[in-house]
Each structure stands twice: as structure tokens, then as C-alpha cells.
């Protein structure tokens, strides 16, 4: 069973996944579990302080090793003495769909959330198995990153989504960006829905959606597109894929000529 044990100074933030949406429903269905461990409980001093000034000086505070290790120890004990420890940190490897899929197929992890300037490096050396980041921007702490990781992982569990097809069809599941979506009305502020989507011609609709995904990925995320293409070429492009790529190339060339 997937289980997350979260070491955090802000356990109340995890109501975001326990009290709302797909993650809440999956929890109610018994598909995963969560427990929070607050290092403040192991502060070990009269003031309950879990941070201290950085050796070497500089701004900000650093989370002390002892309360963190004791919280991690309590989490490990609750998991039967084992569990991979993932530290959410700006210095980590970027979170990917591959890592999320791998976690979804595991028994979960202990998620270590930092605050202030970060945590004492000796905790990382002694306890941390993996360091994971959401990307190159600054958050105020690890909690929002842990929430993102939990949300992404839980939605991959069989039975988490109402429409079973959805998780596999998600963007990134096949390495491409999603296609555009429309709902009623057919015309909004003078903007019509693409005709093909009203045609009822399912083959054409599939083809249009794939073409939109390919064109968008090529335009907006060239590195993702290159990866998809290399993978598909290795396996052999389907006739439809090859045809769509030729169309996209031709339309892109035509657009470039028009704007010159
Ligand atoms: C302004 C503070 N920075 C000083 C150079 C360093 C810094 C310390 C602590 C920056 C961010 C944080 C807190 N961030 C996280 O805990 C975090 C994070 C992030 O900031 N961005 C992307 N992914 C993650 S995962 C955890």
C-alpha cells in the first residue's frame, strides 16, 4: 500500500491532499495513507526551537539535525523500520513522470520538508536517499513540493481516477503536451469550436488531437519533442505519425515564409 510519512513543521498544509479532490477520494477508498511527523515534538529544549544560526555566519536559520532525525526515526518505526527518505530541496533532481510512476508502484516514502535556509547537511548525509526538486524557482519550503509529489503519485494509482483511461492518456504519459479542449457553447465571444470536434468522426478527431499535441510540443517544448521523436523513430514511426509530422513541418515553413 502506498504510504507517505511527511516530516514537516506545517502538518496542516497536508489538508490540501487529504480534504480535497482526487487525492481525498483515493484516501477514502483506502488506496493510500499519510501521516505527518512534526520535528517540533522533538525540539528537546524549553523553547521548542527547531532552527539555529548557521555556522560560518550569513542570513537566515538552519533546521537542527536532532529534531529532524528523531522525526525521521519515528516515521521509519511506524513503517516497520524501513522506508526511503526523499528530501524536497532546490538542490535535488527535477521531479519527472518517470519518478512519479516509480513511486506509485512502490510502498511510498518518507518526505522530508525543509524550512528556513534548509537543513543541517549531516541529516542529508546520514538519512536522505534521494533529493528531489520541482524546478529552478524559489519556494518558501518543501511542503508545496511534497504536496505536488503526493498529488502526482496518488492520481497514478489504479482506481484513483473515475475515468480509468485518464492517467495513461495524461500529458507526459506519452511524452507530448496535451491537445486543446473545448466545451459548450459552440461559439464563445465569436470564437467557434474547431469543426472536426463537432463532426462525430472519431478517427479524424483522434488524428486532429494528435496533430495538435505534436505541433504544440514542437513549438513550445522543442527538447521534449526531440526526445519523443528519437524514441518513436527508434521504435518506428506509424504511418499517421509520419504524415502528421510532414503536415506540421510544411505548415510551420509556410507560416515562417508569411511572416518574413
Ligand atoms: C532565498 C533562499 N535561498 C538562498 C539563496 C535558498 C533557498 C532555501 C530554501 C531557496 C528555497 C528554499 C526552500 N525551498 C524548498 O524547500 C524547495 C524547493 C524550491 O524552492 N524550489 C523548487 N523545488 C523545491 S523542493 C523544496
| 2: exposed, middle or buried (Cβ count in 10 Å: 0-12, 13-18, 19+) | buried
Q: Which of the four pLDDT bands, split at 50, 70 and 90, describes residue 200?
A: very high
Domain that includes residue 149, residue range: 2-154
Residue 160 placed within a domain: no
Count of domains observed in the chain = 2
In tens, the pLDDT along 67-115 reads: 999 999 999 999 999 999 999 999 999 999 999 999 999 999 999 999 9
Handedness of CA 250, 255, 258, 259 (dihedral sign): negative
Residue 10 placed within a domain: yes
Residue 179 placed within a domain: no
Q: Whose CA is nearest to atom 10 of ligand 1?
A: 138
Task: State the distance from the centre of ligand 1 to the C-alpha of 102, rounded, in angstroms.
Answer: 24
Residue 193 placed within a domain: yes
Residue 174 placed within a domain: no
In tens, the pLDDT along 16-54 reads: 999 999 999 999 999 999 999 999 999 999 998 999 999
Q: Which CATH number is 194's domain given?
A: 1.10.1270.20
Q: How many angstroms separate the CA atoms of 123 and 132, rounded?
A: 15
Residue list, ligand 1 pocket, CB within 6 Å: 88-90, 114, 117-118, 133-135, 137-139, 141-142, 145
What three-state secondary structure class fits 1? coil
Q: Full-prediction pTM beyond 0.95?
A: yes
Residue 167 placed within a domain: no
Helix locations, 128-185, DSSP H: 143-154, 166-169
What three-state secondary structure class fits 241? helix
Amino acid at each position: 500500500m502506498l504510504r507517505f510519512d511527511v516530516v514537516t513543521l506545517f502538518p496542516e498544509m497536508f489538508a490540501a491532499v487529504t480534504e480535497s479532490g482526487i487525492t481525498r477520494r483515493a484516501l477514502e477508498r483506502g488506496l493510500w495513507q499519510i501521516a505527518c511527523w512534526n520535528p517540533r515534538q522533538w525540539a528537546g529544549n524549553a523553547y521548542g526551537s527547531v532552527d539555529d544560526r548557521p555556522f560560518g555566519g550569513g542570513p537566515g536559520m538552519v533546521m537542527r539535525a536532532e529534531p529532524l532525525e528523531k522525526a525521521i526515526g519515528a516515521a521509519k518505526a511506524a513503517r516497520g523500520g524501513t522506508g526511503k527518505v526523499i528530501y524536497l530541496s532546490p538542490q535535488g533532481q527535477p521531479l519527472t513522470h518517470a519518478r512519479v510512476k516509480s513511486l506509485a508502484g512502490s510502498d511510498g516514502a518518507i518526505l522530508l520538508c525543509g524550512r528556513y535556509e534548509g537543513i543541517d547537511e549531516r541529516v542529508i548525509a546520514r538519512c536522505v536517499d534521494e533529493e528531489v526538486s520541482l524546478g529552478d524557482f524559489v519556494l518558501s519550503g518543501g511542503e508545496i513540493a511534497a504536496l505536488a509529489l503526493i498529488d502526482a503519485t496518488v492520481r497514478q494509482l489504479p482506481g484513483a481516477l473515475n475515468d480509468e483511461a485518464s492517467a495513461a492518456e495524461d500529458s507526459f504519459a506519452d511524452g507530448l503536451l496535451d491537445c486543446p479542449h473545448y466545451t459548450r457553447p459552440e461559439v464563445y465571444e465569436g470564437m467557434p469550436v474547431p469543426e472536426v470536434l463537432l463532426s462525430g468522426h472519431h478517427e479524424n478527431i483522434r488524428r486532429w488531437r494528435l496533430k495538435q499535441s505534436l505541433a504544440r510540443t514542437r513549438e513550445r517544448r522543442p527538447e521534449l519533442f526531440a526526445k519523443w521523436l528519437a524514441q518513436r523513430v527508434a521504435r518506428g514511426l506509424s504511418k499517421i505519425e509520419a504524415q502528421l509530422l510532414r503536415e506540421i513541418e510544411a505548415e510551420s515553413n509556410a507560416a515562417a515564409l508569411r511572416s518574413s
